[in-house]
Amino acid sequence: MEGGAPHSKTHISRGLAWIGLASTLVGMLDFGATVILLHLFITPEEYGIASLAAAFFPVLDHATDMGLSSAVIQRDDHSPEKISTVFWLNLLMSLLLFGLLAVAAPIYARWMGHAVVGGLLLAYGGKLIFQNAYFIPYAMMKRDLRFKELSLLRIVANSGEFLAKIGFAALGLRIWCFVLGPLTRILITGVGTQLMRPWRPRLVFHWREGREYLRFGLRTSASQILFYFYTNVDYAVVNKLFGATALGLFRAAYELVLEPVRIIAQVFIDIAFPTFSRLRQKRAQLIEQFIAFTRQNLVVVVPYVAVVFVVARDALAVAWGPDFAPAADAARILCFVGVLRGLSYVVPPLLDGMGYPGLTLGYTALAAVLLPALYVVFGLWLGPTMGYDSVAVSWAVGYPLAFTVLLIVALRRLGLAPLVYLRRVIGVPLCAAASMLVGLGVHRLTQGMSAAPRFASVAAVMVLVLGVLLAYFQGISPRTVMAAIRAPGPSEPS
């Protein structure tokens, strides 16, 4: 591989840069599509109805390969027979899952009170079978750290999704655009992957050779499925307790705060697992890489969350339209979750890469019980006075508890003292807190402005202040970031 060892500092940094570029462009496309749809085509009620199906799309995404692609990335003992066995195992499970979905989707739709939700889920469930066409070569490209090609493919596929969403909505398929758009992306991804790395399975099935892949994959997949269950089942709770329009507003707050955090964190997820897997026998390098990913994540996530907290109502009005501005209180509450949510995306790839997927599964199982229970309890307890904001409060109470468990488990396995870790990463949030004080002052001084210029003014001042603080106290600036990306690793020539 060019430039030295595949896990060299420069290769990792360049991969991070490519994934960062792709994630930024994809995030802009997703954000732009949602802006256009909510401003021109979709009402809060329709957005709420679509959310009842969209909440389970990530669950279906991870149920599709049952974690087998993660096993392909993590393991070192591949053979054509084993990889083909993994493919046939995945095909069999995806057929079984689609059959279960065909039974469960109509029942869920009737319970939620919107029959169209069942059709949306069944249509999206078709990807369970189609994804078999590309999940093996896609996983092998990730294992080979071919982040440039994967990033370019992701940009093309998500551009197709953007055009499809807007096009189908303009044609009158308003709620359906939220399914037809992603299906377009998946189709482009499948075709593109096979063009870049053609692969065909052999007609062999050796159960004994594929058993270890399945065992590892099931643990990893179960963890991901539970994660997306407890982070999306709140939509169903809000709909049952407060109705579809309230759900549309709640999702608007959620998408404003936590969806960008997920997109930002995806940069680190895509590169973290293969990187941690390759460094798992080099503990000192593993610790330094984990801290580096944490700080880089904070530098991007914290400024965004800080700005949204200060100007939540204006941000909602600018992003989704004035009809969604009443969700400001929920957005501010979710900002407390946003920072920890961003960091939590980095920890499971660390545990999985070190060979401890069972620990991630244990944490997500705990969270999958605790958080949904809190959604219901807080919704029933505080709902009569707070409405759907009560579910946001349950997030702010329950998620820090779950994250603390996850972080303690990871730090113990890593052999890193919590106070050492905290000292090395706390500077970025402290600088952001100082910038928020300035932002609150600017927000008060600009009370007479309309939403867009007020939002822009506060955001510009906060980013400027935070940039100065980070450069002075943390040594983080655009110049140091570029230097880190370009610097040769220890195994490379200077």
Mean pLDDT of 288-310: 91
pLDDT bracket for residue 125 (50, 70, 90): confident
Q: Are residues 65 and 178 in the same domain?
A: yes
User: Is 386 part of any domain?
Assistant: no
% of the chain residues with pLDDT over 70: 87
Distance CA 91, CA 29 (A): 31
pLDDT in the model for residue 328: 96
User: Is 200 part of any domain?
Assistant: yes
pLDDT in the model for residue 241: 96
Mean pLDDT of 92-118: 92
Q: Are residues 66 and 146 in the same domain?
A: yes
Looking at 197, 230, 263, the residue that finishes a domain is 230
Q: Are residues 24 and 169 in the same domain?
A: yes
By residue range, what is the domain housing residue 286? Answer: 247-355+414-487
On the question of pLDDT at 4 being above 60, the answer is no
pLDDT in the model for residue 78: 66
Q: Are residues 148 and 112 in the same domain?
A: yes
pLDDT in the model for residue 26: 86
Q: Are 150 and 116 in contact (CB under 8 A)?
A: no
User: Is 379 part of any domain?
Assistant: no
Q: Are residues 9 and 143 in the same domain?
A: yes
Q: Are residues 2 and 66 in the same domain?
A: yes
Specify the higher pLDDT residue, 74 or 201.
201
Distance CA 56, CA 248 (A): 16
Which residues, in sequence order, are CB contacts of 127 under 8 Å at separation 6+? 60, 61, 64, 182, 183, 186
pLDDT in the model for residue 209: 66
Alpha helices per DSSP H over 68-206: 68-74, 80-112, 116-125, 127-130, 135-143, 147-170, 177-196
Q: Are residues 10 and 89 in the same domain?
A: yes
Specify the higher pLDDT residue, 147 or 184.
184
pLDDT bracket for residue 305 (50, 70, 90): very high
On the question of pLDDT at 482 being above 80, the answer is no
% of the chain residues with pLDDT over 90: 53
Specify the higher pLDDT residue, 65 or 395.
395
Distances (CA, A) of 280 to 10, 171, 259, 405: 18, 51, 30, 22
On the question of pLDDT at 339 being above 80, the answer is yes
Q: Are residues 42 and 128 in the same domain?
A: yes
User: Is 444 part of any domain?
Assistant: yes
Measured distance between the N- and C-terminal CA atoms of the chain, rounded to whole angstroms: 17
Q: Are residues 182 and 270 in the same domain?
A: no
User: Is 91 part of any domain?
Assistant: yes
Mean pLDDT of 59-67: 71
User: Is 14 part of any domain?
Assistant: yes
Looking at 230, 258, 282, the residue that finishes a domain is 230
Mean pLDDT of 120-143: 85
User: Is 388 part of any domain?
Assistant: no
Q: Are residues 31 and 62 in the same domain?
A: yes
Q: Are residues 342 and 427 in the same domain?
A: yes
Looking at 198, 230, 262, the residue that finishes a domain is 230
pLDDT in the model for residue 475: 85
Mean pLDDT check: name the lowest of 151-155, 192-196, 359-363, 409-413.
Answer: 359-363
On the question of pLDDT at 31 being above 50, the answer is yes
User: Is 408 part of any domain?
Assistant: no
pLDDT in the model for residue 480: 64
Q: Are residues 436 and 339 in the same domain?
A: yes
Phi-psi sector, 387: left (phi>0), alpha (psi -120 to 50), beta = left
pLDDT in the model for residue 318: 94
Tally of domains within the chain? 2
Mean pLDDT of 20-27: 80
Mean pLDDT of 237-255: 96
Mean pLDDT of 14-34: 80
Mean pLDDT of 230-251: 95
Provide the token pair at 385: 């006075």
Output DSSP code: residue 5. S
Backbone angles phi, psi at 415, to 5 degrees: 75, 35
pLDDT in the model for residue 430: 94
